[in-house]
Amino acid sequence: MSLSEAVTPGADLWRHGWYAPAQPLASPNFGPRPVGAQVDLVVVHSISLPPGVYGGPEVLALFSNQLDWDAHPYFETIRGLQVSAHFFIRRDGQLLQCVSCNDRAWHAGPSAYRGRVNCNDDSIGVELEGLEGGTFEAVQYRVLGALIAAIGTRYPIAHVAGHEHIAPGRKTDPGPGFDWNHLRDLVGLPADALPRQ
């Protein structure tokens, strides 16, 4: 089954790159995609702020440039960072969208994959609330699987990879606790759509 066949929407789920089932919380950290960019990659990340702390407002505050840098000692190590992702999936499965998929979110940094550099240009970034190397909740996999399938109905997605795969040696998320085989089974992804394990 192709990604575009994995979901049959009963109504138009997309409007200007915004996914209707997601709660919108717009980030200012985005820009235009290069002319002719083919959005064919989904990048899976993990994030928690402070590391290992879940459920708070800090991740979304970071994405909206409103994080109180003095609220925790860890925040000093990321002071001034301006980043975003298209989507954020909390531990309880809540799905939020911070950047239109038609735009370039700032999630990948220096990166390369499938023979191309600058993965921000032609990818969609999904942050899972979690710790690098830790495990993720069953509901997060279900929401991620449905999201990837829905993205595949709108964009020519051919690859799904982790931040660790597009920036090896620099990033390690989502890490060994992420079950790529489970994601493959949920979405019906072909083996060559995923990174080699």
Task: Identify the burial level of 5 via C-beta atoms within 10 angstroms of its C-beta, where 0-12 means exposed, 13-18 middle and 19 or more buried.
Answer: exposed
Cα→Cα distances 46→54, 66, 160, 195, Å: 12, 20, 14, 16
Q: Is 127 a catalytic residue?
A: yes
58, 127, 132, 164: the active-site residue: 127
Strand residue runs (E) in the chain: 14-15, 18-19, 23-24, 30-31, 41-47, 87-89, 95-97, 104-105, 112-113, 116-117, 123-129, 159-162
Backbone angles phi, psi at 85, to 5 degrees: -140, 160
One-letter amino acid at 24 equals P
Strand residue runs (E) in 100-158: 104-105, 112-113, 116-117, 123-129
Task: Write out the catalytic residue numbers.
Answer: 127
